[in-house]
Amino acid sequence: MSFSNDVREEIARSITDRDRQFACLYGVLLYCRTFTEKQIVLQSESPVFARLMPTLFHSVFRTVLQPDVRTVARGGAQSMVSFTITEPRQIAKICETYHIHPEKREIRLSNLVNNSLSAFLAGVFFGCGSVMDPNKEYHLEFNTPSELLCTDLQKLLGSIGVSGGRILRKQMYVLYIKDSEHIEDTLTYMGAQQCTIELMNIKIRKDMRNKANRVRNCDEANINKVVSAAMRQTEDIRWIVKCGQMDTLSPELRELAELRLENPELSLKELGELLSVPIGRSGVNHRFQKIAAIAEELRSRAVHTK
């Protein structure tokens, strides 16, 4: 089962009394793709939607209004459930009940009473919303059928502190939210508190994995850095040996050079602890810089001699 369907399951359970059912059906109807004076079509692949719609229509319109219900196979296990209303008197009844003008649909807050705004937003989500699996991506969107409805919805979400972007996609005005905290706020407001907790847990697990990866990458980088430095230092010392100049090194440089040849895998700090008079990492690094300068000078002499 998808995360988006989990959200629908949870918010459907929160649509309990008639005021919330009235507001939820308003959201579904107002934001459905097809709403004209001749036809209203509500469609979804969600089984929750298929179960909820008859309940909402019965609660609001009793037996006065009965949509035509059809199920169309989409391939595999998926199917599209469609609730269609074509009877002019039934469409007129819906428009009268919710004060909807098909040619200019807009949110009328007067339809929402007794703190049912959250149920209305849940209905909008049922009608045109979806949310990505947060394991893959943080993304919630509403595919609204008009610019006016998109603007109204953006203002509504803004009233609860949620902001998002807008794009035009296939003649639909898409309002999308990518900020995980704003998605959490939206899910919680619609009544999907458990799904919000799941999203937060996923964020925590992702953060822990990312931190572990950063530590591992940092460790690997440090190891590579130590190995690379040790190889350069060893090459310099071997060149000095080849040139027969080891005895010309000062006692502290010679001791360090011999330790490096004997312990190519050790870090600067570890080498410093093995010296007869232990010194810190920066002191060891400073001595290796002197050794590198001597080796470079010997290389330069060799080139000029040739």
Query: What pLDDT is recorded for position 187?
Result: 94
Give pTM, 2 decimals.
0.69
Query: What pLDDT is recorded for position 67?
Result: 79
What residues does 131 pair with on adjacent strands?
Answer: 140
pLDDT averaged over every residue in the chain? 89
- Dihedral sign computed on CA atoms, order 286, 291, 295, 297: positive
Q: What is the mean pLDDT of residues 82-100?
A: 92
From CA 153, how far away is CA 104, in angstroms rounded?
15
Helices 117-128, 47-61: inter-axial angle, 10-degree rounding: 130
From CA 59, how far away is CA 39, in angstroms rounded?
21
Query: What pLDDT is recorded for position 227?
Result: 82
Q: Which amino acid belongs to residue 129?
A: G
| pLDDT higher than threshold 90 for residue 23 | yes
Q: What percentage of the chain exceeds 90 in pLDDT?
A: 57
Two tokens at 172? 């639909």
Measured between alpha carbons, how far apart are the two ends of the chain, in Å?
A: 76
Q: Which of the pair, 5 or 221, is modelled with greater confidence?
A: 5
Two tokens at 214? 């950063």
Provide the residue ranges of all domains of the chain, joining segments of one domain with +.
3-191, 218-305
Q: Judge whether 61 and 93 are in contact, CB under 8 Å.
A: yes
φ/ψ (deg, to 5) at 290: -65, -40
Q: Beginning with the edge strand found earlier in the chain, give each strand of the sheet holding 78-85 in spatial order.
A: 34-35, 40-44, 78-85, 68-75
Q: What confidence tens digit (pLDDT) does each residue in 103-142 have?
A: 999 999 888 887 789 999 999 999 999 999 999 999 999 9
* Residues near 100 by beta carbon (within 8 Å), at least 6 away in sequence: 29, 30, 35, 94
The superfamily (CATH) of domain 3-191 is Homing endonucleases (3.10.28.10)
| pLDDT higher than threshold 70 for residue 1 | no
- Dihedral sign computed on CA atoms, order 220, 221, 226, 229: positive
Q: What is the mean pLDDT of residues 3-31?
A: 92
